[in-house]
Amino acid sequence: MDQDLLTVIILGIVEGVTEFLPVSSTGHLILASALLGYDPERWKVFNIVIQLGAILAIVVLYWRTLLTVLMGLARRQPESLRFTRNVLLAFIPAVAIGLAFHDQVEALLGRGDVVAWALIVGGVAILLVERFAGSARVKGVAALPVGTAVGVGLIQCLAMIPGVSRSGATILGALSLGVERRTAAEFSFFLAIPTMLGATSLELYKNRDLMSQGELGLIAVGFGVAFVVALVVVKAFVTLIGRYGFAPFAWYRIVAGVAALVWLNAG
Protein backbone atom coordinates (compact mmCIF):
# COMPACT_ATOMS: atom_id res chain seq x y z
CA MET A 1 0.00 0.00 0.00
CA ASP A 2 1.19 3.52 -0.83
CA GLN A 3 2.73 5.17 2.27
CA ASP A 4 0.65 8.34 1.93
CA LEU A 5 -2.55 6.33 1.61
CA LEU A 6 -1.67 4.29 4.71
CA THR A 7 -0.97 7.52 6.60
CA VAL A 8 -4.33 8.95 5.52
CA ILE A 9 -6.20 5.85 6.68
CA ILE A 10 -4.45 5.83 10.07
CA LEU A 11 -5.11 9.54 10.65
CA GLY A 12 -8.72 9.15 9.49
CA ILE A 13 -9.27 6.36 12.01
CA VAL A 14 -7.67 8.41 14.79
CA GLU A 15 -9.89 11.39 13.93
CA GLY A 16 -13.07 9.33 13.74
CA VAL A 17 -12.40 7.61 17.06
CA THR A 18 -11.36 10.68 19.05
CA GLU A 19 -13.29 13.70 17.69
CA PHE A 20 -16.31 13.34 19.97
CA LEU A 21 -14.69 11.54 22.88
CA PRO A 22 -13.26 13.76 25.66
CA VAL A 23 -9.70 12.72 24.77
CA SER A 24 -8.68 15.36 22.16
CA SER A 25 -8.69 14.47 18.47
CA THR A 26 -6.16 17.20 17.62
CA GLY A 27 -3.89 15.97 20.40
CA HIS A 28 -4.05 12.39 19.18
CA LEU A 29 -3.37 13.44 15.59
CA ILE A 30 -0.32 15.43 16.73
CA LEU A 31 0.92 12.48 18.80
CA ALA A 32 0.30 10.12 15.88
CA SER A 33 2.48 12.33 13.70
CA ALA A 34 5.21 12.43 16.35
CA LEU A 35 5.11 8.76 17.30
CA LEU A 36 4.97 7.47 13.71
CA GLY A 37 7.46 9.96 12.32
CA TYR A 38 5.10 11.93 10.08
CA ASP A 39 5.93 15.50 9.08
CA PRO A 40 3.47 17.56 11.19
CA GLU A 41 3.63 20.55 8.84
CA ARG A 42 2.61 18.48 5.83
CA TRP A 43 -0.37 16.90 7.59
CA LYS A 44 -1.51 19.90 9.67
CA VAL A 45 -4.15 21.13 7.20
CA PHE A 46 -5.24 17.58 6.42
CA ASN A 47 -5.80 16.86 10.11
CA ILE A 48 -8.11 19.86 10.41
CA VAL A 49 -10.06 19.34 7.21
CA ILE A 50 -10.89 15.66 7.79
CA GLN A 51 -12.75 16.72 10.93
CA LEU A 52 -15.60 17.52 8.54
CA GLY A 53 -16.02 13.77 8.04
CA ALA A 54 -16.66 13.33 11.75
CA ILE A 55 -19.03 16.32 11.72
CA LEU A 56 -21.02 14.75 8.90
CA ALA A 57 -21.48 11.69 11.11
CA ILE A 58 -23.28 13.88 13.66
CA VAL A 59 -25.53 15.32 10.95
CA VAL A 60 -26.43 11.79 9.82
CA LEU A 61 -26.97 10.40 13.32
CA TYR A 62 -29.04 13.38 14.52
CA TRP A 63 -30.75 14.32 11.27
CA ARG A 64 -34.21 14.03 12.81
CA THR A 65 -33.31 16.45 15.61
CA LEU A 66 -31.68 18.89 13.19
CA LEU A 67 -34.62 18.70 10.76
CA THR A 68 -37.07 19.27 13.60
CA VAL A 69 -35.11 22.34 14.70
CA LEU A 70 -35.01 23.74 11.14
CA MET A 71 -38.75 23.22 10.69
CA GLY A 72 -39.38 24.73 14.10
CA LEU A 73 -37.32 27.79 13.20
CA ALA A 74 -39.45 28.30 10.09
CA ARG A 75 -42.51 28.25 12.33
CA ARG A 76 -40.79 30.27 15.07
CA GLN A 77 -41.41 27.58 17.65
CA PRO A 78 -39.95 28.55 21.06
CA GLU A 79 -38.06 25.30 21.65
CA SER A 80 -36.31 25.45 18.27
CA LEU A 81 -35.46 29.11 18.82
CA ARG A 82 -33.94 28.33 22.23
CA PHE A 83 -31.99 25.37 20.80
CA THR A 84 -30.49 27.54 18.06
CA ARG A 85 -29.85 30.43 20.45
CA ASN A 86 -27.90 28.20 22.82
CA VAL A 87 -25.70 26.71 20.10
CA LEU A 88 -24.94 30.16 18.64
CA LEU A 89 -24.22 31.71 22.06
CA ALA A 90 -21.75 28.91 22.83
CA PHE A 91 -20.17 29.24 19.38
CA ILE A 92 -19.47 33.00 19.49
CA PRO A 93 -16.64 32.92 22.10
CA ALA A 94 -14.71 30.40 19.98
CA VAL A 95 -14.91 32.72 16.98
CA ALA A 96 -13.78 35.81 18.89
CA ILE A 97 -10.96 34.18 20.85
CA GLY A 98 -9.91 31.93 17.98
CA LEU A 99 -9.41 34.88 15.63
CA ALA A 100 -7.65 36.93 18.31
CA PHE A 101 -5.15 34.19 19.25
CA HIS A 102 -4.89 32.28 15.98
CA ASP A 103 -1.11 32.65 15.62
CA GLN A 104 -0.45 31.53 19.19
CA VAL A 105 -2.65 28.47 18.72
CA GLU A 106 -0.90 27.60 15.44
CA ALA A 107 2.45 27.66 17.24
CA LEU A 108 1.29 24.93 19.62
CA LEU A 109 0.04 22.49 16.98
CA GLY A 110 3.36 20.69 16.61
CA ARG A 111 4.09 20.37 20.35
CA GLY A 112 3.74 16.77 21.46
CA ASP A 113 4.82 17.67 25.01
CA VAL A 114 2.00 20.21 25.31
CA VAL A 115 -0.48 17.56 24.20
CA ALA A 116 0.82 15.02 26.72
CA TRP A 117 0.56 17.40 29.67
CA ALA A 118 -2.86 18.61 28.55
CA LEU A 119 -4.09 15.00 28.41
CA ILE A 120 -2.95 14.40 31.99
CA VAL A 121 -4.35 17.64 33.41
CA GLY A 122 -7.62 17.15 31.52
CA GLY A 123 -7.96 13.62 32.86
CA VAL A 124 -7.56 14.84 36.44
CA ALA A 125 -10.12 17.60 35.74
CA ILE A 126 -12.67 15.06 34.49
CA LEU A 127 -12.27 12.99 37.66
CA LEU A 128 -12.72 16.07 39.84
CA VAL A 129 -15.82 17.23 37.96
CA GLU A 130 -17.32 13.73 38.09
CA ARG A 131 -16.67 13.63 41.83
CA PHE A 132 -17.72 17.11 42.91
CA ALA A 133 -20.18 18.40 40.29
CA GLY A 134 -23.57 19.24 41.74
CA SER A 135 -26.80 17.52 40.84
CA ALA A 136 -27.91 17.75 37.22
CA ARG A 137 -30.73 20.25 36.83
CA VAL A 138 -30.85 20.84 33.07
CA LYS A 139 -32.05 18.25 30.56
CA GLY A 140 -32.30 19.02 26.84
CA VAL A 141 -30.26 21.48 24.75
CA ALA A 142 -33.18 23.88 24.43
CA ALA A 143 -33.54 23.98 28.22
CA LEU A 144 -30.05 25.46 28.83
CA PRO A 145 -30.23 28.94 30.39
CA VAL A 146 -28.46 31.71 28.48
CA GLY A 147 -25.71 31.97 31.09
CA THR A 148 -25.01 28.25 30.92
CA ALA A 149 -24.72 28.29 27.11
CA VAL A 150 -22.31 31.23 27.22
CA GLY A 151 -20.32 29.58 30.02
CA VAL A 152 -19.93 26.37 28.04
CA GLY A 153 -18.81 28.41 25.03
CA LEU A 154 -16.14 30.18 27.07
CA ILE A 155 -14.88 26.91 28.53
CA GLN A 156 -14.75 25.41 25.03
CA CYS A 157 -12.02 27.94 24.18
CA LEU A 158 -9.62 26.06 26.46
CA ALA A 159 -9.59 23.41 23.72
CA MET A 160 -7.49 25.73 21.57
CA ILE A 161 -4.61 24.26 23.59
CA PRO A 162 -3.82 20.96 21.80
CA GLY A 163 -4.66 18.00 23.99
CA VAL A 164 -7.35 19.72 26.04
CA SER A 165 -10.18 18.33 23.83
CA ARG A 166 -13.02 20.43 22.47
CA SER A 167 -15.62 17.81 23.38
CA GLY A 168 -14.00 17.29 26.78
CA ALA A 169 -14.01 20.99 27.59
CA THR A 170 -17.62 21.51 26.53
CA ILE A 171 -18.88 18.38 28.28
CA LEU A 172 -17.04 19.16 31.51
CA GLY A 173 -18.15 22.77 31.34
CA ALA A 174 -21.76 21.69 30.95
CA LEU A 175 -21.53 19.13 33.76
CA SER A 176 -20.02 21.67 36.14
CA LEU A 177 -22.86 24.06 35.32
CA GLY A 178 -25.58 21.56 36.21
CA VAL A 179 -26.33 19.91 32.85
CA GLU A 180 -27.04 16.16 32.88
CA ARG A 181 -24.62 13.81 31.12
CA ARG A 182 -26.50 12.92 27.95
CA THR A 183 -27.49 16.55 27.30
CA ALA A 184 -23.89 17.67 27.95
CA ALA A 185 -22.61 15.17 25.37
CA GLU A 186 -25.26 16.04 22.77
CA PHE A 187 -24.73 19.79 23.23
CA SER A 188 -21.05 19.16 22.56
CA PHE A 189 -21.98 17.29 19.36
CA PHE A 190 -24.25 20.06 18.06
CA LEU A 191 -21.79 22.80 19.03
CA ALA A 192 -19.11 20.97 17.04
CA ILE A 193 -20.99 21.58 13.79
CA PRO A 194 -20.52 25.39 13.53
CA THR A 195 -17.21 25.34 15.43
CA MET A 196 -15.47 22.81 13.19
CA LEU A 197 -17.10 24.12 10.02
CA GLY A 198 -15.67 27.54 10.84
CA ALA A 199 -12.18 26.23 11.67
CA THR A 200 -12.06 24.03 8.57
CA SER A 201 -13.31 26.77 6.23
CA LEU A 202 -10.65 29.14 7.57
CA GLU A 203 -7.86 26.59 7.05
CA LEU A 204 -9.04 25.73 3.53
CA TYR A 205 -9.15 29.41 2.59
CA LYS A 206 -5.73 30.17 4.04
CA ASN A 207 -4.12 27.17 2.35
CA ARG A 208 -6.10 27.16 -0.90
CA ASP A 209 -2.93 27.67 -2.97
CA LEU A 210 -1.37 24.53 -1.48
CA MET A 211 -4.24 22.21 -2.39
CA SER A 212 -3.33 20.05 -5.38
CA GLN A 213 -5.53 17.36 -6.91
CA GLY A 214 -3.42 14.75 -5.16
CA GLU A 215 -3.89 16.41 -1.79
CA LEU A 216 -7.64 16.72 -2.33
CA GLY A 217 -7.79 13.02 -3.13
CA LEU A 218 -6.05 12.13 0.13
CA ILE A 219 -8.37 14.47 2.03
CA ALA A 220 -11.38 12.73 0.46
CA VAL A 221 -10.13 9.34 1.67
CA GLY A 222 -9.42 10.65 5.17
CA PHE A 223 -12.83 12.33 5.21
CA GLY A 224 -14.57 9.05 4.36
CA VAL A 225 -12.64 7.02 6.94
CA ALA A 226 -13.30 9.59 9.69
CA PHE A 227 -17.01 9.66 8.79
CA VAL A 228 -17.53 5.89 8.98
CA VAL A 229 -15.51 5.46 12.18
CA ALA A 230 -17.25 8.40 13.90
CA LEU A 231 -20.68 6.93 13.09
CA VAL A 232 -19.82 3.84 15.13
CA VAL A 233 -17.99 5.62 17.93
CA VAL A 234 -20.64 8.25 18.71
CA LYS A 235 -23.35 5.62 19.17
CA ALA A 236 -21.14 3.61 21.50
CA PHE A 237 -20.04 6.73 23.39
CA VAL A 238 -23.58 7.82 24.31
CA THR A 239 -24.34 4.31 25.58
CA LEU A 240 -21.09 4.13 27.54
CA ILE A 241 -21.46 7.41 29.41
CA GLY A 242 -25.00 6.44 30.40
CA ARG A 243 -23.59 3.37 32.16
CA TYR A 244 -20.16 4.41 33.40
CA GLY A 245 -19.91 8.19 33.19
CA PHE A 246 -16.73 9.90 31.99
CA ALA A 247 -14.21 8.38 34.43
CA PRO A 248 -12.95 5.71 31.95
CA PHE A 249 -11.97 8.49 29.54
CA ALA A 250 -10.23 10.38 32.35
CA TRP A 251 -8.05 7.40 33.22
CA TYR A 252 -7.32 6.79 29.56
CA ARG A 253 -6.16 10.41 29.18
CA ILE A 254 -3.85 10.14 32.18
CA VAL A 255 -2.30 6.85 31.02
CA ALA A 256 -1.95 8.09 27.42
CA GLY A 257 -0.40 11.38 28.55
CA VAL A 258 2.14 9.68 30.80
CA ALA A 259 3.01 7.15 28.09
CA ALA A 260 3.45 9.94 25.54
CA LEU A 261 5.76 11.89 27.88
CA VAL A 262 7.90 8.80 28.49
CA TRP A 263 8.12 8.06 24.75
CA LEU A 264 8.88 11.65 23.75
CA ASN A 265 11.56 12.04 26.44
CA ALA A 266 13.11 8.69 25.54
CA GLY A 267 13.42 9.88 21.94
> What is the per-residue pLDDT across 45-54, written as a single tens digit (0 to 9) for each?
777 778 888 8
pLDDT in tens, 80-130: 999 999 999 999 998 888 777 766 766 666 677 888 898 999 999 999 988
Would you say residue 202 has pLDDT above 80? no
Cα–Cα distance measured from residue 56 to residue 176, given in angstroms and rounded to the nearest whole number: 28
Q: Output phi, psi for 62, to 5 deg.
A: -115, 30
Residue 239: pLDDT band with limits 50, 70, 90 = confident
What is the number of structural domains in the chain? Answer: 1
Cα–Cα distance measured from residue 95 to residue 24, given in angstroms and rounded to the nearest whole number: 19
pLDDT in tens, 154-187: 998 888 888 888 888 999 899 989 998 889 999 9
Q: What is the DSSP letter of 208?
A: G
- Which domain range does residue 172 map to? 3-266
Greater confidence (88 vs 136) lies with: 88
Helix (H, G, I), strand (E, B) or coil at 228: helix
Would you say residue 201 has pLDDT above 90? no
Contacting residues for 47 by C-beta, under 8 A, at least 6 apart: 11, 15, 26, 29, 30, 33
For residues 37-45, average pLDDT: 68
For residue 36, which amino acid is it?
Answer: L
Please tell me whether the overall predicted TM-score, pTM, comes out greater than 0.75 for this model. yes
**Average pLDDT over all residues of the chain:** 85
For residue 9, which amino acid is it?
Answer: I
